[in-house]
Amino acid sequence: MKQLFKWSSHHPLLSFGLALLVTVIFSIGLPRLKIDAALTTLMRGSDPRIGEFKNVAENFKERTVALVLVRSSSLFTPDVFKAVSDLADRFERIKGVEETSSIFNVIVPQARGGVAFAGKIVPSSLLDEKALAALREELLANSIVRDQLLTRRGDVLAIVLFLEPEGPAGRSHDEVLLEMREIRSRFLADRGDGTEIVFLGVPVVKADVWDRLNWDLRYLGPLSLIAIASLIFLFYRSASAVFLPLLTGILSSFATLGFMGFAGYPVNTFLSIIIVFNLVLGCTEDLHILSEFRRNFRDGISRLQSIEQVGVHSGHALLMTSATTTLGFLSMVVADNLALREFAISCSFAMAINFVITILTVPALLALLPLRKPSSAAETRPRSERYAHAFVDGLQHRKRIAFLVGFGLVLLAIAAIPRIEIDSDYFDFCPEDSEAVRAKDFCSRHFEGGSYLTVVMETHTSDGIFSPEGMKSLYLLHGFLERECGHPFGWVNYMNEFQASLGRPLPTAESPPGDAELTSFGQFFLPSLLKTFLDFDNSRSAIRLRVVARGSKDTAAIEARILDFARANLPDGIEVRITGEKSLIDRLSDAIAEKLFENLAGLCLVTAVLISVYVRSWKQGFVFLIVNLIPVAAIYGAMGWLSIPLGLGTCAVALIVFGIAVDDTIHLILRYNKERGSGKPPPEAAASALCLELHPIVATSVIICGGIIVVMFSPAPINSDVGILFVIGTATALAADVFLTPLLIVLAERPRQS
């Protein structure tokens, strides 16, 4: 490392030019970079649950849905009813909409003169008020319409738009949503009668999350830069001290985003933190290098010699920090989920490219930038250096108190870890006042739930659904879902309405439809209309279940109740599975959070082993592990005590804080070994190490907190939790390094010849 620093400082223009060239080469990929806010971003990879979802979606003709909710207190008056009917027609004619479902075109079983037929329930001719009142009662009595397309109060109706798949041959869902909004704007401008129109569905959520990601990239990046720059200037009182860390962070960010563009990795909710990750971790090592260089320069060492000496200590610390963190992130590359692999590779690349750019840039600019040499050593000597020896001496005399306090705080954090709940809610990435959140609340108020699950009953036998055992099981399951879980909609609804239209008793689990009823039903009802509920060979049936489920915890509880009921009440040969976009996204989000939690343990062990090998001391490796597990425990403890769920938005916080803590601890351990090598006894060596590293450790911790707190200004509510956890973790890492590392490293010292 000394030779690299020496070469860079002796050839500053060439070295800096190489850094710019590397950045430019990778930045060519920036035009290819995409912001992908779709929920389906996570639904990639070899996870068997993804395959099951795709199979169910294909067999039961499930498509992306956009929901239009129209509310009016005078919905069933001739003027409003006609206007809403025309509105439904306009939505149906949008390019990219395959078909629609609403009260105006839904096909239901009906009967005239004892003869059943399938037809539209709403006549095409204009109705008067009396006929509309009768129609309203008929619609509310129909289980196919009630709670699915019309609320029980009859004041809100739903128009379901089934969208074509996106792709080269299909229209973008963003374009479809834009046209939907234009139609809504024209309708409301023409009416002006208090009618409300709300959109809900994947395109709406995607648009709102995209707005949030775009807002974060456009405003939070510069705001974080301003905060970091202000705090650096406060600590170092130098324009060059501000310029260097920001430059390496910006160059690393451009190179990383360009790499993601080349690799086809979109900026999604999971990778949106990559910018702040680069800026924050990129500046930490620069500040350590800058502090040591200024100290050497202040003590009378020439500029170039100061840079070379920095390469001996800070260069090796930079190498160890980058290597351990990069390898730790790469350990997640074997994950099944493609989004998690992209996260691991992107973060690994960010650490590696930051190392390269720092090596090429910082020594070169330290050799080029004008520096004012202090007139005396005391002129710029930080206060931390004046009191560090007294501080460590006081710690040695009160080490029992320090250990007891630290041990107590760790126990307090560990005690809260069992209280952590894994709960992912994609709406946490949407601003509270966003259209998606308001629409979901609107749907929950009027339709009692705005989330959908697909419950599949599998008989494993051709025509098994229509066997006596299959019919009984289907009615048992449908009845349970209606009583305990939400609003189910499936084949049972159509069969019940068929029986009701003929004046026959409704089938039940105790008295399911017989062969004659099934044959009669099959003769008049087109199979194509039931593809949403029956598989091609009638071996399984799908039930669309609308539930009230805010996050993955609620979804998991509902799924557990359904599966417990199926195991206890359905025959052994019948299997019940639950899938759907909501279920799958929640499961995958929780799986990613759990995987990151598991990989954090691997990351800690890998870094501890590498440090042990590098410093040739397993005891120092153990000290390193203990000190850096404390901020991790503090973060998870804070999640438990503050009821912050472990989810997609918070799962990466501990990883980043661990990377920050690792950097400072490595500097302390390497500095301690250097001081011991000069002949100082352990306590004095620990005091000298802390004396020399305290200022940059405190500075980086405060600066990082300032840069990260900026994310709390994001419109997404999840970022307030992220900011709180970052502050707690970084403050704990600082306290652990300052109070415990000097004590533990002395205790771990074994007698050796100076």
For residues 485 and 174, what is the distance between their CA atoms, to the nearest angstrom?
33
Query: Coil, strand, or helix at residue 747?
Result: helix
Residue 35 has φ and ψ, to the nearest 5°, of -100, 115
- Residue 380: the pLDDT is 44
**CA 634 to centroid of chain Cα atoms:** 21
673 vs 714 pLDDT, higher one: 673
Q: How far is CA 433 from CA 199, 287, 632, 689, in A?
A: 14, 40, 33, 51
Nearest to 341 by CA among 45, 584, 47: 45
User: Any idea what the Cα angle at residue 135 is, between residues 134 and 138, rounded to 5°?
Assistant: 90
- Residue 377: the pLDDT is 43
- Residue 752: the pLDDT is 47
pLDDT in tens, 90-99: 999 999 898 8
Nearest to 160 by CA among 289, 297, 272, 63: 63
For residues 569 and 578, what is the distance between their CA atoms, to the nearest angstrom?
17
Nearest to 70 by CA among 442, 548, 545: 442
Report the amino acid identity of residue 454: T
Confidence of residue 376 (pLDDT cuts 50, 70, 90): very low
Q: Residue 205: how many CA atoms within 13 Å on its side-chain side? A: 24
Nearest to 712 by CA among 700, 725, 722, 701: 722
Tokens of 52: 């099951």
Tokens of 40: 């389906």
Q: How far is CA 273 from CA 269, 270, 325, 479, 565, in A?
A: 8, 7, 17, 45, 41
Predicted confidence (pLDDT) at residue 754 exceeds the cutoff of 50: no
117 close to 526: Cβ distance less than 8 angstroms: no
Predicted confidence (pLDDT) at residue 129 exceeds the cutoff of 50: yes
pLDDT in tens, 219-253: 777 787 788 888 888 887 777 778 888 888 888 88
Query: Coil, strand, or helix at residue 141?
Result: coil
Q: Pairing between strand 575-579 and 115-120?
A: unpaired
- Residue 285: the pLDDT is 76
Whether 382-419+590-754 and 1-47+238-375 are alike in CATH topology: the answer is yes
Predicted confidence (pLDDT) at residue 389 exceeds the cutoff of 70: no
Query: Coil, strand, or helix at residue 70?
Result: strand
Rounded average pLDDT over 426-444: 81
CATH architecture of the domain formed by 382-419+590-754: Up-down Bundle (1.20)
Lowest mean pLDDT among 102-106, 175-179, 533-537: 533-537
Query: Coil, strand, or helix at residue 24?
Result: helix
Tokens of 524: 């008049």
685 close to 693: Cβ distance less than 8 angstroms: no
Tokens of 637: 């403890």
362 vs 314 pLDDT, higher one: 362
For residues 722 and 657, what is the distance between their CA atoms, to the nearest angstrom?
11
Predicted confidence (pLDDT) at residue 442 exceeds the cutoff of 50: yes
Predicted confidence (pLDDT) at residue 424 exceeds the cutoff of 90: no
Lowest mean pLDDT among 65-69, 185-189, 310-314: 310-314
Tokens 């910006």 belong to which residue? 250
Q: Which residues contact 45 (CB under 8 A, 6 or more apart)?
A: 336, 337, 338, 339, 341
Q: How far is CA 249 from CA 11, 207, 226, 254, 754, in A?
A: 22, 29, 13, 9, 40
pLDDT in tens, 36-79: 655 566 666 666 776 776 777 677 777 778 889 999 988 889 88
For residues 585 and 240, what is the distance between their CA atoms, to the nearest angstrom?
46
Nearest to 541 by CA among 564, 568, 561, 512: 512
Q: Which residues contact 143 (CB under 8 A, 6 or more apart)?
A: 493, 496, 497
pLDDT in tens, 739-748: 888 888 888 7
- Residue 39: the pLDDT is 56
- Residue 691: the pLDDT is 81
For residues 345 and 274, what is the distance between their CA atoms, to the nearest angstrom?
11
pLDDT in tens, 690-715: 888 888 888 888 888 887 777 777 77
- Residue 526: the pLDDT is 57
243 vs 526 pLDDT, higher one: 243
- Residue 44: the pLDDT is 62
- Residue 159: the pLDDT is 92
Rounded average pLDDT over 413-425: 80
Rounded average pLDDT over 341-350: 83
- Model-level pTM? 0.79
490 close to 541: Cβ distance less than 8 angstroms: yes
CATH architecture of the domain formed by 1-47+238-375: Up-down Bundle (1.20)
Rounded average pLDDT over 332-355: 79
For residues 638 and 659, what is the distance between their CA atoms, to the nearest angstrom?
19
For residues 574 and 590, what is the distance between their CA atoms, to the nearest angstrom?
28
E-only strand ranges, 465-552: 487-489, 540-547
Q: How buried is 128 (Cβ within 10 angstroms: 0-12 exposed, 13-18 middle, 19+ buried)? A: exposed
Query: Coil, strand, or helix at residue 749?
Result: coil
Q: How far is CA 486 from CA 149, 439, 554, 569, 635, in A?
A: 15, 19, 12, 19, 36
Tokens of 477: 């399951």
Q: How high is the mean pLDDT of the chain?
A: 81
Rounded average pLDDT over 420-439: 80
458 close to 540: Cβ distance less than 8 angstroms: yes
Confidence of residue 551 (pLDDT cuts 50, 70, 90): confident
Q: Which residues contact 724 (CB under 8 A, 6 or more apart)?
A: 638, 642, 644, 712
514 vs 58 pLDDT, higher one: 514
Q: Which residues contact 308 (CB under 8 A, 6 or more apart)?
A: 2, 5, 6, 9
Q: How big is the chain by its Cα radius of gyration, in Å?
A: 32
Q: Which residues contact 293 (CB under 8 A, 6 or more apart)?
A: 306, 307, 310, 366
For residues 625 and 665, what is the distance between their CA atoms, to the nearest angstrom?
10
457 vs 748 pLDDT, higher one: 457
143 close to 497: Cβ distance less than 8 angstroms: yes
Q: Please give the torsion angle defined by the CA atoms of residues 421, 422, 426 and 427, in that order, rounded to the nearest 10 degrees.
A: 0
89 vs 605 pLDDT, higher one: 89
Q: Cβ atoms within 10 A of the Cβ of 408, count?
A: 10
pLDDT in tens, 578-623: 988 777 777 777 777 777 777 777 777 877 888 888 888 888 888 8
Q: Which residues contact 59 (CB under 8 A, 6 or more apart)?
A: 535, 536
Q: Which helix (H) or strand (E) holds 65?
A: strand 65-71
Supply the angle between the helices 468-484 and 491-501 in degrees, to the nearest 10: 100
Confidence of residue 379 (pLDDT cuts 50, 70, 90): very low
For residues 105 and 92, what is the distance between their CA atoms, to the nearest angstrom?
11
- Residue 372: the pLDDT is 59
Nearest to 285 by CA among 231, 375, 362, 205: 362
DSSP 81-102: HHHHHHHHHHHHTSTTEEEEES
For residues 415 and 176, what is the distance between their CA atoms, to the nearest angstrom?
50
Residue 323 has φ and ψ, to the nearest 5°, of -65, -45
* Percent of the chain residues topping a pLDDT of 70: 88
Rounded average pLDDT over 130-144: 89
374 vs 585 pLDDT, higher one: 585
What is the assigned CATH class of domain 62-206? alpha beta
Tokens of 291: 């502090």
- Residue 34: the pLDDT is 76
Instruction: Using the CB atoms, write b or e for 535-560: b if 16+ within 10 Å.
Output: beebbbbbbbbbbbbebbbbbbebbe
Confidence of residue 124 (pLDDT cuts 50, 70, 90): confident
Rounded average pLDDT over 122-144: 85
**CA 160 to centroid of chain Cα atoms:** 28
Rounded average pLDDT over 715-728: 81
Tokens of 259: 């790499």
Domain residue limits, the chain: 1-47+238-375, 62-206, 382-419+590-754, 435-585
102 close to 149: Cβ distance less than 8 angstroms: yes
Predicted confidence (pLDDT) at residue 266 exceeds the cutoff of 80: no
The sign of the torsion formed by the CA atoms of 593, 596, 598, 601 equals negative
- Residue 568: the pLDDT is 93
Query: Coil, strand, or helix at residue 271?
Result: coil
Nearest to 77 by CA among 138, 153, 150, 128: 128
